[in-house]
Amino acid sequence: MPFHSHLLANGLQIIGETSPSARSAALGFFVRTGARDETPEESGVTHFLEHMVFKGTSRRTALDVNRDFDRIGADYNAFTSEENTVFHAAVLPEYLPQAVDILADILRPSLREDDFDMEKKVILEEIGMYEDQPMWSAYDHAKRLYFAEHKLGNSILGTPESITALTRDQMYAYFQRRYVAPNIIVAAAGNFEWPRFVDLIEKHCGPWQKGAVGREGVSETRGSGRFEVLTRDKVMQEHVFLISPGPPADSPLRYAADLLGMAIGDDSGSRLYWALIDPGLADSADCSFHEYEGTGAFYTSFSCQPEQAQEDLRIVMELLHDVQKNGIREEELNQARSKVLSRVVRGSERPKGRMMALGMNWIYQHGYRSVDDELRAFEAVTLADIRQVLERYPLDQVTTLALGPLAQLQAEEHG
């Protein structure tokens, strides 16, 4: 599958991988801005702005945006993370020009005051929805506890207070600062013609403003190491997160870190599965590696009946100490590898999945990675690489947060 790239004069990067046998084409606008790029006064603005992008431009009302997407049968959406805001659509090949027309247009939103006020209510509803989901709540609190002063701890949704206080002008200033052409990558995958696609993007995005890019506060962190219990009487199960340091997204160790996370906490056949799920000690248990610009982290979590939480925490800490000390076995590495290879192959069969990978790789790996490049990188991981991850990023150096009915829980000391 041929890869193409083109840089517009204003700094906007276009990349694409064409695959004539695909049934659809997918495209995404990756804006390199997220919750970590917000000041405390702007908390939640990135995600709120993501919503406002769908509220229209000088050419389209909010209803027009939705109707235009639906008219071409687009599968479209957007998401906001700590570091990126991504707007994407998958369409039948003949509708790609219209999809570009809509997406490029809405990326220059009007941010009308009345739309802003209305959408503020929707954001507050979204915050309320997550507040009723203890697992998500625990994750959000745990992330904040781990990253502490580091800006990766910033909340993506913000708080009811920060959202209520936010003004349209603050959002506009943030937009001007972050949605500049050199901070945006347009990625496409599937059945489309590259030269025509470049022309379309050039036509729509060529006039976009230049500006300074980059972000402040990019540094490694090992986390606060704190231990906190948040008591919530109305919650049924105890939800526990343990976060430990990991390599940053552009580290060559990311592949080993991914496999290590999977060997410890994938939903089948992992260490955590055998330790907690198989014997019925927890209703969920997971470990996965999350990568960011400048740093990374392993998120280990479980939820269980409150009276079981202390014992489960002991089991999990023992498991992490054991992996830290003895690593994992060759067969565990191979088992994780088989699963990852199969997921990479399947994930790349859909243009939408491939487009996401292209965009994220461009941002974090600073270039193009073919499916085969990715497969080879996972193939090449050895136990020595796993050992190196553990030596540089101690897995048992955890920051712990529990949320649920328990009033207290004892930290498990290294025994």
Cα angle: 118, vertex 124, 126; to 5 degrees: 110
- Assess 328 for contact with another protein (CB under 8 A): no
What distance in Å separates the CA atoms of residue 320 and residue 166, rounded to the nearest whole number? 42
Quick check: 285 and 243 in contact, CB under 8 A? no
- Assess 342 for contact with another protein (CB under 8 A): yes
- Assess 2 for contact with another protein (CB under 8 A): no
- Assess 131 for contact with another protein (CB under 8 A): yes
Given the complex with another protein, which of 39 and 342 has the nearer CB atom?
A: 342
What residues have CB less than 8 Å from 222, skipping those under 6 apart? 245, 397
Given the complex with another protein, which of 27 and 90 has the nearer CB atom?
A: 90
Q: Which of 343, 376, 392, 414 binds another protein (CB under 8 A)?
A: 343
Provide, rounded to whole angstroms, the least separation between the CB of residue 373 and another protein.
16
Report the amino acid identity of residue 152: L
Q: In which element (H, E) is residue 90 found?
A: strand 85-91
* Residue 414, token pair as written in the block: 């290294």
List the strands of the sheet with 25-31, edge to edge: 3-7, 13-18, 184-190, 25-31, 85-91, 75-80
Given the complex with another protein, which of 151 and 352 has the nearer CB atom?
A: 352
What distance in Å separates the CA atoms of residue 141 and residue 397, rounded to the nearest whole number? 18
Given the complex with another protein, which of 134 and 153 has the nearer CB atom?
A: 134
Given the complex with another protein, which of 75 and 169 has the nearer CB atom?
A: 75
Q: Which of 12, 14, 15, 22 binds another protein (CB under 8 A)?
A: 22
Given the complex with another protein, which of 70 and 199 has the nearer CB atom?
A: 70
With contacts defined by CB under 8 A, name the span among 126-134, 253-261, 321-329, 391-399 that binds another protein.
Answer: 126-134
- Assess 195 for contact with another protein (CB under 8 A): no
Provide, rounded to whole angstroms, the least separation between the CB of residue 149 and another protein.
29
Which residues in 210-249 contact another protein (CB under 8 A)? Answer: 234-237, 239
Q: Which of 2, 7, 71, 196 binds another protein (CB under 8 A)?
A: 71
What distance in Å separates the CA atoms of residue 93 and residue 190, rounded to the nearest whole number? 8
Given the complex with another protein, which of 148 and 371 has the nearer CB atom?
A: 371
Which residues in 75-114 contact another protein (CB under 8 A)? Answer: 75-77, 90-92, 95
Which residues in 267-306 contact another protein (CB under 8 A)? Answer: 268-269, 273-274, 277-284, 303-305
Which residues in 23-52 contact another protein (CB under 8 A)? Answer: 23-24
What distance in Å separates the CA atoms of residue 221 and residue 40, rounded to the nearest whole number? 20
Write the CA distances from 106 to 18, 44, 83, 122, 163, integer angstroms. Answer: 25, 20, 20, 19, 22
List the strands of the sheet with 284-291, edge to edge: 227-231, 399-404, 238-246, 296-304, 284-291
